[in-house]
Structure 1
Amino acid sequence: MKKYCIYTDEVGYGAWAGPVVVCSVLSQEVANAQIKDSIRDSKSLTKNARYKLLHVIKQKHMFAIAWLHAVDIDKFGLRVATDKAIVQSWSILLSRYKLNVQTNLFGERLLDIVIDGKYIPKTEHNVKSIINGDKNNLMISYASIIAKETRDAYMCELHKIYKEYSWNSNVGYGTIKHRDAIAAYGVTKHHRKSYKPLQKYI
């Protein structure tokens, strides 16, 4: 039986508006957690560089995307909502590719998960967290690129409806221009109303 490893990263955690988006990428080889590569954290790449890499990554790797929107973040809290999206991305990935990842005849687990950051969701899987994994692990960098490009594209679509907030450029983060727009026009259903910085605008 083959052993698999899932590499997971999220984007949008600190945004004021829009969803938190998680991507998990599947590999049949467990990569060195400290691998260095010219592909860095998606946030440090130019948009053009990420876009070119995106299609190559999607063609070569199995992946799944999950997200929870502002209403879910307000309902569950950011950490819980993010954990829910992370676990959901694993379930989608395993279900989509019909993978047997229980144990082999020797009782060894057939699935390892490597996640960026320090928080590990409650799960039955064997999960390892890596601080700054999106900068030091090639596969986590791939997950980061897919997640960021997916979220950015979604926020650009929302911008067509809510142009005042400049989500095509700030993608929901609390920039000065975004804050000025909230002060002038109020909050939308896509804003995370539970966030303390937004309380004064509500």
Structure 2
Amino acid sequence: MKKSISEIKETLLNTKTESEKIKELRQDQRKGVQQLLQSWDRKMEFQKRQEEEWERMLSYERALKNKGKFQIAGIDEVGRGPLAGPVTAAAVILPDNFYAPGLNDSKKLSEVNRNKYYSLITAEAAVGIGEASAEEIDEINIYEATKLAMLRAIDSLGQQCDALLIDAMTLPVETEQISIIKGDANSISIAAASIVAKVHRDTYMKKLHEQYPEYGFRANAGYGTKEHLTGLKKHGPIKEHRKSFAPVKIYLEE
């Protein structure tokens, strides 16, 4: 006797490979069964692509581990472009058994997925956060402030690193480091750091919004949106504004 559609659906939910059961189901000409199989095939293909992408994004970590480097920190920053708030960096050392398919550059993820991965990373990995304030950015420039935030993130880890994977930066440290262009799309460790830095900074800017709602920080995270510029023109800059950045400097001079 043939299984019901609901029974077949349950079977497919618990089947991860092309088994004999699947081969038998492919002979079942019922429309409902064939639709379930098409859906299962798409799911398996999606999972396969995610697994291949995961493997690709582990290439730098694997190469370092083959050299005996096991404490590998991925480092990334967020917040170079905003007119207000700190530049924030994260350093992340992922455990060997860490697996989170779909983890990628924080800019490619929805807020819901960023928060999901953030919870997973902070629960399982060693994480360090570093910031450079708006005042420091004005004093030493955004590029140097970014390096400062990254160095603080490494210090915040509280443990020795064997190697650093850094998104498009070189740091003044003796630890072996690899600077990777578009590192958050090419290294799992850097992608994890990009997510931690992004969620941490966004949370900070949402709290700042509660103090200064007129600038719209909750929605714009300090970037120069129309709402932010309107608030800046009407109320002027606050301590968290980067006074060396042209749009802010204009309103200081008025």
Q: Quote the residue 1:7 is aligned against.
A: 74
Rg bigger for which structure?
A: 2
Residue ranges of structure 1 left out of the alignment (5+ in a row): 30-36, 102-110
Letter of the aligned partner of 2:81 in structure 1? G
Structure with more helix by fraction: 2
Task: Give 1:48's match in structure 2, choosing from 112, 121, 133.
Answer: 112
Q: Quote the residue 2:89 is aligned against.
A: 22
Secondary structure, aligned partner of 1:73: helix
Letter of the aligned partner of 2:181 in structure 1? I
Structure 1 residue 66: Cα displacement = 0.7
Hey, which bits of structure 1, 4+ residues long, moved more than 4 A?
Answer: none
Structure with more strand by fraction: 1
Supply the distance in 2 between the matched residues of 1:3 and 1:133 (Cα, whole angstroms). Answer: 19
Q: Does 1:113 align with 2:164?
A: yes
Letter of the aligned partner of 1:153 in structure 2? T
Structure 1 residue 2: Cα displacement = 6.7
TM-score for the superposition, normalised by structure 2: 0.68
1:14-163 matches, within 5 Å, as 14-27=81-94, 38-93=102-157, 96-97=158-159, 99=160, 111-117=162-168, 119-163=169-213
- Residue pair 1:2, 1:28 contacting (<8 A) in 2 also: no
**Corresponding pairs, count:** 182
Secondary structure, aligned partner of 1:25: strand
Letter of the aligned partner of 2:156 in structure 1? I
Residue ranges of structure 2 left out of the alignment (5+ in a row): 1-67
Supply the distance in 1 between the matched residues of 2:184 and 2:173 (Cα, whole angstroms). Answer: 21
Structure 1 residue 88: Cα displacement = 1.6
The two structures, once aligned, show a CA RMSD in angstroms of 1.8
Structure 1 residue 92: Cα displacement = 2.1
Structure 1 residue 28: Cα displacement = 6.2
Structure 1 residue 27: Cα displacement = 3.9
Supply the distance in 2 between the matched residues of 1:193 and 1:2 (Cα, whole angstroms). Answer: 42
Supply the distance in 1 between the matched residues of 2:135 and 2:103 (Cα, whole angstroms). Answer: 33
Higher relative contact order (CA closer than 8 Å, sequence separation 6+): 1
Q: What do the CA deviations read for 1:63-88 (whole angstroms, capped 9, x no partner)?
A: 10010110111111111111111112
Q: Quote the residue 2:14 is aligned against.
A: none
Secondary structure, aligned partner of 2:251: coil
